[in-house]
Amino acid sequence: MSHTNTCHPGLLVFISGPSGVGKSTVCRKLAAELPAEFAVSATTRQAKPQDAQGKKYEFVDHPTFRKLLEAGELLEYAEKFGNWYGTLKKPVEDGVKAGRTILLEIEVQGAIQVHKLFPEALGVFILPPSEKDLLKRLRDRGRDDEATIQQRFMEAKQEIHMAEATGIYDLLVVNEDHGVDKTCETIKKAIRKFRGDEQQPLF
């Protein structure tokens, strides 16, 4: 199936969720299954081995990030865990204009900015089954020391609270243990409904 669907205007979908919720796995699966593409983000954080198969980043230094920002080349931006992240604007605008579905995997501050610019965008927030479960998942990733895990856990709880309070998310979906397939189906159904083509087997 072509990524361009001439029967529909383009669609912007922003997906957020706390660290450890399984967001990257869900987003990778969605990108593979949907006629959709991921927006590229510029970030000042260091590249990690898992970036090779995940969302697309352009790794830049702080002065370059500031230049992108000052030149108006970022659709939105935010600081997270001491690093700066921002979505490159032009490919998103071009994609939406061309009728494509563009996915943004971004945190809540950036999502608020996107919602202001594109009130018609679809917002999805991925939740853990419970706080206890989230803490377990953060530990099971084996990436961080206990102090970092506690920090991420606290920030995750704040992010969930903020997401629920902003009201910008159209869909809050719980990613159950081993529930990636179900979570993706729920998101795809929401996208179909949002595009007004529930009856059509678009994907």
Q: Which of 28, 29, 56, 80 binds ligand 5GP (CB under 6 A)?
A: 80
Q: Is 86 in the site for ligand 5GP (CB under 6 A)?
A: yes
Shortest separation between residue 15's beta carbon and ligand 5GP, angstroms:
8
For residue 23, give the nearest of 118, 152, 120 by alpha carbon.
152
85 forms part of the interface with ligand 5GP (CB under 6 A): yes
Residue span binding ligand 5GP (CB under 6 A) among the ranges 78-86, 131-139, 174-182, 183-191: 78-86
Nearest to 33 by CA among 187, 193, 196: 187
Among 102-110, 121-129, 131-139, 162-170, the segment contacting ligand 5GP (CB under 6 A): 102-110
Which residue reads 């865990």 in tokens?
Answer: 81
Between CA 154 and CA 156 the distance in angstroms is: 5
| 157 forms part of the interface with ligand 5GP (CB under 6 A) | no
Cβ closer to ligand 5GP: 126 or 195?
A: 126
What span, in angstroms and rounded, lies between the C-alpha atoms of 152 and 161? 14
Judged by CB under 6 A, the number of residues near ligand 5GP is 13
Could you tell me where the beta strands, DSSP code E, fall in the chain? 11-16, 36-38, 41-43, 57-59, 74-80, 83-88, 101-105, 122-127, 171-174
Q: For strands 36-38 and 41-43, give the pairing.
A: unpaired
Interaction of residue 41 with ligand 5GP, rule CB under 6 A: yes
Cβ contact 149:138 at 8 Å: yes
Is residue 106 part of the contact set for ligand 5GP (CB under 6 A)?
yes
H-run or E-run covering 27: helix 23-33
Instruction: Candidates 99-107, 125-133, 146-154, 168-176: pick the segment binding ligand 5GP (CB under 6 A).
Output: 99-107
Angle at 72 between CA 66 and CA 73, to 5 degrees: 80
The reply on whether position 76 binds ligand 5GP by CB under 6 A is yes
Residue 102 contacts ligand 5GP per CB under 6 A: no
Residue 105 CB, nearest distance to ligand 5GP (Å)?
Answer: 5
Q: Which residues bind ligand 5GP (CB under 6 A)?
A: 41, 45, 76, 78, 80, 85-87, 105-107, 109-110
